[in-house]
Structures are given as C-alpha cells and as structure tokens.
Chain A
Amino acid sequence: MAVNPLLPQVAVVTDVRRETPDVKTFRVEAADGGELFAYRPGQCAMVSLFPVGEALFSITSSPTRIGFLEFSIKETGMLTRALHEIEPGTEIGVRGPYGNGFPVEFLRGKDLLFIGGGIALAPLRSLINYCLDNRDDYGRVDIIYGARSSRDLVQREELFVNWPRLRDTAVHLTVDVRSDDWEGNVGFVPAFLEQLNPVPEGKATITCGPPVMIKFVLQSLAKMGYQPENVITTLEMKMKCGIGKCGRCNIGDKYVCRSGPVFTLAELQKLPNEY
C-alpha cells in the first residue's frame, strides 16, 4: 500500500548529551529496535516532537555507526526549546532521509579540508566520521573549526581526543572571544583559515557554518586558489516537507531539500543568490 510521505516513524530518544550551553546532541533509535532508515553523510531528517512541531535537522552521526541516528540541535525557536527539555525515553517522530548528502565518491582519494563554524559542525561530523571510518579511501584530513567561545565548541571528545589521534588527521580550533580557559587561537574562522593557508593542490574542502562565515570563507578560499568545483558547502533554508512540494526552500529551479543541501561552489554560482 502506498504510504503518506509526510508520515514519520516513531522513534525513541535513547541519549541526550549536552554539548554547549545551547546545544544538545540527541541519539535516536527506532521504537521497534530495527533500523530507522539508511542514509548518506550530509543527509537530513525531519524530527517531530508532538505536540510542538516538526523541523529539518542534519544527521550528525555517520552511517558507518549502525543502529542509531544523532542530531545536534541548537536552541533557537519553540521546537528546539521543547526538544531541549526532553529526557531519554521520549518518543518522537522521524522521517527521512532527505537531501543529496555529501559526494563521498567524488571525495574519495582526495585530501579533505573541513571548515566549520558553531552548530554547523553537525553535518560535517557525519562526513568526518564516515571518512575516518573508511580511512584508507581518503587522504589527509584537516579540520578547521571555530565557535563563539570555548564553551560553544561542540563534540569536544572528538575534537580534542578521537580525531587528533588518528593518522594524517589534524584539528585546528579557534574561538571568536578570548577566555581564561582557552589557550588556542582567537579569531574568526576565515582569518584563521588564511593564517593556516592550506594549499589547494589535491584537496577538496567542505565548509558549513553561519551565512556570514560561509561568505568570507568562500572569499578566502578563492583567494587561496581553490577551484569552485572543489569547494563544497551546504545551504540552510526553512523547510516544511522535505520532499520538494511545500515551496519554502525553492531557489531557482532547485529545491534545497531535494537537490541540496550540499552544493559545490560551482553549482551555487549558477543559482540565484537567495539563501
């Protein structure tokens, strides 16, 4: 029988981790113990908390880690505020996966430069763990990540312990605002990127962050000689359906929920500048 594409599956939140004062990571499993769905790094899912509502979040877990989905969610509106109040054991609705995901085949064999800001490490993390779990398929991995302050860095265990200890993998951190507990770099991500000045040869770069960060990162990358085909980013738009019908995430002849959220800079340059 045909199914209603807007109908979520019932899922259970099995773990809630506080990342920062306003970000929590939720681990979600199918209520019946099975798999919710297969997905690719960079894909998204609609998360429903009844009776508050539904919104699209990127899946931050990697499909290489089986049996659960994870979402890192920042408190910004009514739904995310309510999500921050739930405890493990809460039943929610999940539907997906939506979107194209990162081009893992295209990236195979290349050195990877990840550039993230704030909560937007979430989609990158899925791909980072995917690549690190398939370590031989990918070249050197550099992760540049920044947040407002040291308190706002998410996924600290991976940033400080798990990722740096892997071979050919480096994590470069920066924060916008200096604090007593921070000994690392202070400054915005684009400036930090230019300071590190990673060479574009053999590299693909994947960047996610707030629009203003993306804007300047793209400028910096262009200055450093990165080709638009090798610069990959994601767009964030308001979405209600996730299936290309509700009309909100329409940019030019694309629906971000279906053709995106992952685009190369070369693809973005062909789209109307309305995101």
Chain B
Amino acid sequence: MKKIAKTKLQELWQRLSAEGALHLPVRSDRVVEFVRWQEDVSADLDALNAFLPPKKYFYPQTETVLKYQFEDTLQLTDVSSLAGEKTILFGVRPCDAAAFSLMDKVYLGEPVDEAYRRRRESTVVIALGCLEPEETCFCLAFDIDPGKAPGADLLAADTGTELVFIAQSSKGEELLAKLNGVLQEATSGDENKVKDAQERAREKYVTRVSVHGLAEKLDTFFDSVYWDRLYRRCIACGTCTYLCPTCHCFDLQEYAAGRSGERIRCWDACMFPDFTQMAGGHNPRPTQKERVRQRFMHKLNYFPRQHGGEYACVGCGRCVRQCPVHLDILEVIREMGGAVDGR
C-alpha cells in the first residue's frame, strides 16, 4: 500500500507516462473526457462520469478489422495483432471498472476477440474510488462498492487530500513497484482512512434501488402493455447506448480506396431503426417500441440469462443524466418494483 498527496500528482503522472500511454479524465470545453496525458494537464478527480466511458480503450468507437488489397490475388491482412499499445488508465471509476468485466464476457468469450484481448492485456487499470456518489449513481444495486474496484489492477482510494494505492493484481503490483520514488509508504492509519472513506461513500447514497429478482420478473414481461407507453418518449437517438459502459453492439462497414481498402468495426445502437432492418425489407423490430424493449430486456433479462445472472448495467447513471427525454433504466428498474427507498 502506497500513497501520494494530491498536490503531487503531476509527478506521478510524469512517471506513469514513462511506463505507457497514460490516459486520464480531463475537463475541457464543456465535458470531462478520458484523454492522453500531456505535461501540465491535470486529471479531474471530482467528476464521477467521464462523458464517454473508458470502454473506448478496449472497444473503440471505430477500429480497423482487416485490410484488403487486390494485387495479382486478393490479399487480406489481419490488423488485430497490431492492437495493444502499453496503456495506463488512471481514474477509472468503480462502475466503469466493473463494466470492463461485463464487456469481457462478450469479447473474451469464445471466439475471443483478438484485438480486444490484446488491448485489455496491455492496459493497467488504475481505479479511483468515489468519495461521494451523485444522485444518479446506483452502482450499489449491482453490488458495486463506490469505494472499491476489485477488477482493477490498482485502486487509488481517495481519502480527501491523498490518494492511497492498493495493488489488486500482479500487473498492479509491478507498476506500483516502479513508482517507489514518487509514492510514500502508507501506514495503518491510511488503511483506516481508506476504510472510512469507503464506508462514508456507501452511506451517502441517495438513490437506492434493488434489482433483486428483476431478471426473473422480466422472464414473462415481454408482452406487457408497459412497453406500449414507455417507448413513446424515445426519439431514437444513440445517447443511451453510446454512453453506456456495457453496450457492445457493433456494425461492420467497408471503406474502399481504389484496389484496396479496409473493413471497420464501429459502435452501433439498437435504438436506430435500421439496426435490424434486413435487405429484403423485413424488420423484426419494426417500431421504436420493440427497440426500447430490446434495450431494457437485454440489460435486465437477456444478458443475465446468458451470463450467469449478471445484469448488463453498472448503475453509472450516464443514461439517466443524459437521455434527452428522461427515459432511462433507473425508471424501468423502479417501475418494475425495484425501489427500496430514496426519492
């Protein structure tokens, strides 16, 4: 266990950037965004949700899947072996860190997505514990502790004026060992401070919902009239899906240039009308009702049924905050009877 005063973080970032491409949440213009660190740039340690979740580092919005070239014959080049620059992600919140393990179920499940695996393995994730959840935070519902991030390589626990680093994997230990000159040894007093901060963060929750038994309840909910009313507000934009740390659907597209070109993979959204539109004209999800239902059913029923009961939501609250028409998963969880207390 090591620690550093928040006032000395520039030194830490300087050192970390020597170990790999360092990315951290930075406020610029009107949003907080994960960007590559440069001299004099400071991380925003207060903002909880970066505009885009850090899933973009393992599953970028656009990536090349293959290159092709017509010479004497057709040549296909796999570019996935090029993925995986040594990267350090600093300041990943516990919810976003938990989302990585959900994305892993999809992209590290058979057949393994090679580019994703390489990026995941070449990245050290330094999570940043939350001191005070926002009103749109509901990670607790998914057993995610705002002060802890067991899936991260390192946890940086925020104790107010200092960050205390706890290694949680061999990658984390290795990196921590390299930071000896910058970090101080933490004491048992610091350990207690971390525990206090973690406890306080839990207590400060205002939005308490439960998803206990929700997947089971939804087993028979597909034909409910509930969906007939819910969807009407939806304007079919991609805000909820693109901002979601667990949404993983994609499209493949061709980008041609003469006799050569590439095939790219890019994020796609089940909210878009053409998502399931077939070339012959048939669309199994013909209206926004089916699309809205798909999104919530996938997160709260289909995904848990496929992946040992785990919900495809980490309660980060981005969709709650950002949906232009206030149609979000928290509303669905609540209306399904998932509220415990809170407002």
Most A C-beta atoms less than 10 A away, residue of B81, B256, B284: B284
Which positions 254-276 of chain B face chain A at CB distance < 8 Å? 254-256, 261, 263, 265, 268, 270, 275-276
Chain A residues with CB below 8 A from B81, complex form: 1, 4
Contacts A2-B112, A247-B249 given; does A52 touch B254 at CB 8 Å: yes
Chain A residues with CB below 8 A from B284, complex form: 237, 251, 274-275
Contact with A along B102-144 (1 / 0, CB 8 A): 0000110101111101000000000000000000000000000
- Report the separation of the CA atoms of residues A246 and B275 in the bound assembly, to the nearest whole angstrom: 10
Q: A243's closest neighbor in chain B, by CB?
A: B111
Chain A residues with CB below 8 A from B297, complex form: 272
Chain A residues with CB below 8 A from B254, complex form: 50-53
On whether the beta carbons of B285 and A274 are closer than 8 Å, the reply is yes
**A184 within 8 Å of B by Cβ?**
no
Q: B302's closest neighbor in chain A, by CB?
A: A253
Q: A74's closest neighbor in chain B, by CB?
A: B280
On whether the beta carbons of B279 and A7 are closer than 8 Å, the reply is no
Chain B residues with CB below 8 A from A211, complex form: 282
**B277 within 8 Å of A by Cβ?**
yes
Which positions 233-265 of chain A face chain B at CB distance < 8 Å? 236-238, 240-241, 243-248, 250-253
**A79 within 8 Å of B by Cβ?**
yes
On whether the beta carbons of A250 and B278 are closer than 8 Å, the reply is no
On whether the beta carbons of A4 and B114 are closer than 8 Å, the reply is yes
On whether the beta carbons of A91 and B66 are closer than 8 Å, the reply is no
**What is the total number of residues of chain A having a CB less than 8 Å from a CB of chain B?**
46
On whether the beta carbons of B248 and A10 are closer than 8 Å, the reply is no
Contacts A3-B114, A4-B65, A50-B261 given; does A10 touch B70 at CB 8 Å: no
On whether the beta carbons of B68 and A50 are closer than 8 Å, the reply is yes
On whether the beta carbons of B111 and A5 are closer than 8 Å, the reply is yes
Chain A residues with CB below 8 A from B251, complex form: 240, 246
Chain A residues with CB below 8 A from B73, complex form: 10, 31, 91
- Report the separation of the CA atoms of residues A2 and B116 in the bound assembly, to the nearest whole angstrom: 12
**A77 within 8 Å of B by Cβ?**
yes
Chain A residues with CB below 8 A from B109, complex form: 244
**B179 within 8 Å of A by Cβ?**
no
**B18 within 8 Å of A by Cβ?**
no
Chain A, interface SS category:
loop
Which positions 2-29 of chain A face chain B at CB distance < 8 Å? 2-8, 10
On whether the beta carbons of B265 and A247 are closer than 8 Å, the reply is no
**B290 within 8 Å of A by Cβ?**
yes
Which positions 81-121 of chain A face chain B at CB distance < 8 Å? 91-93
- Report the separation of the CA atoms of residues A50 and B252 in the bound assembly, to the nearest whole angstrom: 13
Chain B residues with CB below 8 A from A129, complex form: none
Distance of A91 from chain B, by nearest CB (Å): 4
On whether the beta carbons of A238 and B114 are closer than 8 Å, the reply is no
**B298 within 8 Å of A by Cβ?**
yes
Q: B222's closest neighbor in chain A, by CB?
A: A272
- Report the separation of the CA atoms of residues A4 and B74 in the bound assembly, to the nearest whole angstrom: 18
Chain A residues with CB below 8 A from B70, complex form: 50, 91
Chain A residues with CB below 8 A from B290, complex form: 274
Chain B residues with CB below 8 A from A4, complex form: 65-66, 78-81, 113-115
Chain B residues with CB below 8 A from A91, complex form: 70, 73-74
Chain B residues with CB below 8 A from A93, complex form: 68, 74, 76
Q: B305's closest neighbor in chain A, by CB?
A: A253
On whether the beta carbons of A6 and B252 are closer than 8 Å, the reply is yes
Chain A residues with CB below 8 A from B51, complex form: none
Chain A residues with CB below 8 A from B222, complex form: 252, 272-274
On whether the beta carbons of B256 and A5 are closer than 8 Å, the reply is no
Distance of A273 from chain B, by nearest CB (Å): 8
**A61 within 8 Å of B by Cβ?**
no
**A60 within 8 Å of B by Cβ?**
no
Contacts A2-B114, A4-B78, A51-B256 given; does A80 touch B279 at CB 8 Å: yes
Q: A256's closest neighbor in chain B, by CB?
A: B284
- Report the separation of the CA atoms of residues A79 and B114 in the bound assembly, to the nearest whole angstrom: 27
**A195 within 8 Å of B by Cβ?**
no
Contacts A245-B250, A247-B249, A274-B285 given; does A8 touch B114 at CB 8 Å: no
Chain A residues with CB below 8 A from B17, complex form: none
Distance of B246 from chain A, by nearest CB (Å): 12
Contact with A along B284-296 (1 / 0, CB 8 A): 1100001000100
* A-B residue pairs in contact (CB < 8 Å), sample of 19: A4-B80, A5-B111, A5-B114, A6-B65, A7-B80, A50-B70, A50-B256, A50-B261, A53-B252, A79-B279, A80-B279, A211-B282, A238-B276, A246-B250, A246-B268, A250-B298, A253-B306, A273-B222, A274-B294
Known pairs A93-B68, A245-B248, A272-B297 / 12 extra A-B pairs, C-beta < 8 Å: A2-B117, A4-B113, A6-B66, A31-B73, A48-B263, A50-B74, A50-B261, A53-B252, A53-B253, A247-B249, A252-B222, A253-B305
* A-B complex: 8 closest residue pairs judged by Cβ atoms: A77-B279, A247-B249, A51-B256, A253-B305, A91-B74, A5-B111, A4-B80, A272-B222
